[in-house]
A and B are shown apart, each in its own frame.
Chain A
């Protein structure tokens, strides 16, 4: 029997379901399928099933009710719509279907009876037959299931009990059992271990990946140091850190002691105009500064800029993790209402109550800080060092926001994922404690990352056309946080992750990864399931959902080409030039100061500095710096409609996107926080799911024109700068012969792909292979995909092929486009 062998649920619960399990597992196929059409994961058992259930649809889903069957397995609560298409047995397993919720995401189960509402806990007993079952989820979704009068009462009560008994991973160890339930089966383990990680995003796990980033940013005077390779210098830092070229590892080692937790100033990002962004923990006080130390410390802090360093203190104006936690709790309570009694905030006090959560205030302060930093970076050759006591919370928020503002690459899905890897995962944001999966570190719990996602959403909301990723992607990431399955979030730093994978024998071995040196012997302890990274989206979401992660046609981005060199159009350089070299300023509350004890080794008590070094900096540089911030205040103001291409030509892509922070401009992420508030859900038009289609249509047309233009210009003038690969002509011919709109996107995108670094030369054969899976997985063509019958376990090759091209954007689904038949045959 191919059941989950490590299942930790009590036998008592399993017993009534043996028959069912027999049913669901009777097929010889490794892929188990329930008779009622639920496609189970390998080893997943259906604990309870209820027929004739209706699920309330959210606004996004088009509102109304959907009838089908409700399942509770030991991993999820699943809902299968009545007339859903027969699942493809050979497809790769997807953890959660469109209407499913993982047990670990459920926060409360509420049964609604004829005239009463009851919070159902594992120990409670029901004295009535529920008419409605409401699941409140940690990710602020609310699932509402309505039982039919014809639904057998026993089934209704049973499933309510079953869900109530199995959902809560409250005790230590329950997270593990949940992981086992999801990923513990032999097939799942094998499946996971055969998955390849996305080679087109930067994981920042290896030295070469960091070097790639240095190269991408044109940061030539920096190098990757492996001084922390064994986590001896700093336990919370990543294995590889980026430091100035001129500092030797032996010198570097001495500087760790001067910073809290050994988190010395490290390079994060370089602005194309030549400024560097660093982050560091607070200075260690009461430490004697040797003369040599000081030299090194200065070098590390100044990085590659000799003249000017601005230390941005993040503690003062930004919320503390505890503030964020409190605000988020209030926001939750406000948006979901009082869960047990279904009492919600009176509508007429909604706005002021929303204000009093301070959630939006905190978002604003983060965005403001990041805007300030972005403006500093934009305007001069200087080093900006973000400083936070621990350097593991708000500096993650600010440093990544700055990059989202300034670096168009970070507004693509791949770039954003890399950014999170770099500034959160590798930098040691304590995901594990902050998310508090085990409910054992309540004091540490704080949704700092969710605050960051909301900040990014605000930017997306104000500048959607400058993002390649969509709010759908942000929402998916938001929801994934609450699923304790991903290695990305289940550790506090790289060291912990490495430990775990060593213990596990590294069963989730990336084929091209750099961790393969770690422990080639994968037989050490097979008990714990291998945890995938969150970025393996195919594991979580269907192809259709993933297609919505990126814009159908991304903003035109001639980006990679520009970023390799340093732009040297520095309008403000002359203003800063008069600054005394070696000045350090502190930016706090919007003003610059140069306190005597910043950095502490320069203070009089340490003595050594003054004797041997240049004179202490005066505040002469301050006006220049303040002008930079004022310039921000001004640019915020007459900035015209941010069009990527006006009549004046394209904007400078590195001009930071500075969000408006006025009250009326800050929005509430309703699609996220209010999707649970069923009573107050906006009924978006039923066709709202394709509300984008005129844009998509137009985008297609533009793409065609662009291609045609390229064709004509190559054929008419050979010296045209927009060189299109020669094989295009044959390429398009190929397209014409096949299903029309399917190939339009990949084909038209060869130009962009050719420009990016990792893309293979766009020969026509290559395209043919890479497009195969993408076209077959589209809903309209699913049935036609007969030729694609791989076993689900080994189909990864085609799955990765689909991601072959980093600039690959899935074509819009046929379902979204009404009658697009003629639109694409124009080649």
Chain B
């Protein structure tokens, strides 16, 4: 099975596959787990899975170079686990030779995707040490100087996801270059800024030398560059890192002039609004390490702090959230426990920051967004604001472009934040910033159920493969590193998978609209916990599905059933009911015409 969330496969083709998988498993235990091309069996072992929901389950575990697969041997208690090794954050031995009590000797595996797995083993031989080492070695290949699975996979897809995002094409879609903005290739060799992409859009009037001088005054050389331009009012979203003001309050004329050039590029911007994503105190504290924020010397600019906390606070918040939902959902005081994690409050701050950005821009004001380094909170804010402003990003392809552009190409440090293949689970650089972004997107899809072409399944798939290391999409920290490791040539893009089976990820209720700005409500009253992600391992939660979608799926199933019956009837009795066949085909064509959705037409073809 390709995706670990098989519960979501509604499509008939897919369920057939899963049926065959199940059948074959019955025939020969674990021998026939459908592996990915390039996936290899490493070892298998009998052990006991301590399931937090149904208790200890005897079964067999299979370790490949991609996944940990467990299946219970007891047919009455069908438990299967299918965990990509990339999702493993930490493996620990629990219990020692002296430990007593049933199932107290074994392994404790912490996963990045909100679950823990515990296995109990017999205290004989070196069985535990062996399996521990295998898991450790294959879950953290980089710590052993091995290749990530993305480099080993032989998967082939009809679509090539690496072609989804072409920077120049995307700029052209936005109407760039124009007489105010130019495309600069100064970073062709990553010489200006090693964490930026090669293609940048900068004010037409700025010269390449200016850019270099500005780079000297911006943290890690991440100069202000254009992310998005409003087609009508020409207001822009510009992103960058903090200015290197420092304790002494240094100034940089070039930087000041450069920001003014950005302001001038739009006629209606009287004052350039600079959004500093951090809380005010954090920005001040950053002066101690040479950073800081734009002061009064920046004329024609106003600075607004958005009070979004740093990566460490977010990490701790999600950890608290995990504590109250896994394995057991906090029962007695659910809402106040949820409140005390502050997770939704952080979501709210990120969303409301993005709303402010989007609002400014749609009113014709250019804005600059930065945080400290401009790769975490800044990416969240710019990409969410763009999602609100530009309906193109609300399509499936557009959303892929948005992630490729604002997150991947602009150097969100996926490798550090996720820790792909790295055993240092306590690394302070890890943080669920991208998860938080996807959560914000989910909140938006909840509030605007018809505005997005993609569905929840896409968001879940993205988050699953954020960790899985099956695709190259989220590997490494920046384009520079990706180029060095030949990601585009040696690995497969996640979008290859998605676009090859796009109908799985489409929202049936999508109604395209022209250029509407979406402002979600960023209030605790209307934000919800993303239960189907954070609590999805709880078997009680699974049936919680989008009400309308559930109905839709039932209807789809019913229709397929009827279609099948009709076909059978018509085949068996084609001569006598000839006129009816005629009428039915006319019906099909007419309803196909009335439903432009691709899905419809596809599902009609059996007739």
Name A's B-contacting residues (CB within 8 A).
Answer: 347-352, 354-356, 360, 461-462, 464-465, 553, 556, 636-646, 660, 662-665, 670, 674, 677, 680-688, 690-692, 694-695, 697-702, 704-706, 708-709, 711-713, 715-717, 819-823, 825-827
Contact = CB atoms under 8 A, between A and B. Distances in A.
Contacts of A355: 333-336
Interface in B500-521: 508-509, 511, 513, 516, 518-521
A663 B330 contact: yes
Contact of A664 (B339, B535, B572): B535
A706 B565 CA distance: 10
A712 B566 contact: yes
B490 interface: no
Nearest to A360: B335
A337 to B, nearest CB: 11
- A-B pairs with lowest CB-CB distance, top 10: A663-B334, A826-B587, A355-B335, A705-B562, A352-B336, A464-B547, A351-B339, A350-B524, A822-B590, A680-B523
Given A702-B562, A716-B573, 10 more contacts: A465-B547, A637-B539, A639-B543, A664-B531, A674-B526, A682-B520, A682-B521, A697-B595, A709-B565, A717-B573
A351 B544 contact: no
A646 B550 CA distance: 12
Contact of A643 (B447, B521, B554): B554
A254 to B, nearest CB: 47
A823 B580 CA distance: 17
B409 to A, nearest CB: 30
Nearest to B534: A664
Given A642-B543, A709-B565, A347 B594 contact: no
Interface stretch (B143-151, B235-243, B448-456): B448-456
A493 B577 CA distance: 60
B53 A637 contact: yes
Given A684-B447, A687-B450, A702-B558, A826 B591 contact: yes
A465 B542 CA distance: 16
Contact of A695 (B325, B548, B590): B548
B524 A819 contact: no
Among B551, B566, B572, B597, residue most surrounded by chain A Cβ atoms (within 10 Å): B551
A712 B577 contact: yes
Given A640-B542, A708-B580, A709-B569, A822 B594 contact: yes
B525 A465 contact: no
Interface in B566-583: 566, 569-570, 572-573, 576-577, 580, 583
A664 to B, nearest CB: 5
B516 to A, nearest CB: 7
A532 B543 CA distance: 41
Contacts of A717: 573
Contact of A711 (B330, B548, B580): B580
Contacts of B551: 464-465, 695
A682 B526 contact: yes
A641 B543 contact: yes
Interface in B304-342: 325, 329-331, 333-336, 338-339
A351 B563 CA distance: 47
B586 interface: yes
A700 B595 CA distance: 12
A644 B558 CA distance: 10
B556 interface: yes
B561 interface: yes
Interface string B430-465: 000000000000000001111100000000000000
B557 A643 contact: yes
A347 B331 contact: no
B552 A695 contact: yes
A553 to B, nearest CB: 8
A350 B335 CA distance: 9
A672 B145 CA distance: 58
Contacts of B552: 694-695, 698
Given A683-B520, A716-B569, A704 B554 contact: no
B577 A716 contact: yes
Nearest to A354: B335
Among B511, B525, B586, B587, residue most surrounded by chain A Cβ atoms (within 10 Å): B525
Contacts of B518: 683, 685
A461 B531 CA distance: 15
Nearest to A660: B540
A613 to B, nearest CB: 43
A350 B450 contact: no
Contacts of B331: 662-663
25 contacts: A347-B524, A348-B339, A350-B523, A350-B524, A352-B336, A354-B335, A641-B542, A641-B550, A663-B330, A664-B531, A665-B541, A674-B526, A680-B526, A683-B519, A686-B513, A694-B597, A697-B594, A697-B595, A698-B552, A708-B584, A713-B569, A715-B577, A716-B576, A819-B594, A826-B586
A826 B583 contact: yes
Interface string B583-604: 1101110110111010000000
Contacts of B563: 705
Contacts of B513: 685-687
Contacts of A822: 590-591, 593-594
B554 A691 contact: no
Contact of A464 (B53, B550, B553, B586): B550
Contacts of B519: 683
A664 B529 contact: yes
A360 B557 CA distance: 35
A823 B604 CA distance: 14
B547 A826 contact: no
B545 interface: yes
B442 to A, nearest CB: 14
B555 interface: yes
A691 B539 CA distance: 29
Contacts of A677: 525
Interface string B340-367: 0000110010000000000000000000
Nearest to B452: A685
B559 interface: yes
B562 A709 contact: yes
A352 B542 contact: no
B584 A662 contact: no
Among B53, B519, B535, B590, residue most surrounded by chain A Cβ atoms (within 10 Å): B590
A685 B540 CA distance: 31
Among B338, B550, B588, residue most surrounded by chain A Cβ atoms (within 10 Å): B550
A645 B557 contact: yes
Contacts of A706: 562
A668 to B, nearest CB: 8
A827 to B, nearest CB: 7
A715 B339 contact: no
Contacts of B584: 708, 826
A692 to B, nearest CB: 7
Contacts of B593: 822
A638 B541 CA distance: 9
Contacts of B543: 639-642, 660
Nearest to B553: A643
B587 A704 contact: yes
B335 A680 contact: no
Contacts of B561: 645
Contact of A823 (B448, B526, B590): B590
Contacts of A646: 557
A643 B553 CA distance: 9
Contacts of B594: 697, 819-823
A371 B379 CA distance: 47
B289 to A, nearest CB: 30
Interface in B70-87: none
A660 B540 CA distance: 8
Given A350-B525, A688-B449, A697-B595, A465 B335 contact: no
Contacts of B554: 465, 643-645
A83 B531 CA distance: 44
Contacts of B525: 347, 350, 670, 674, 677, 680
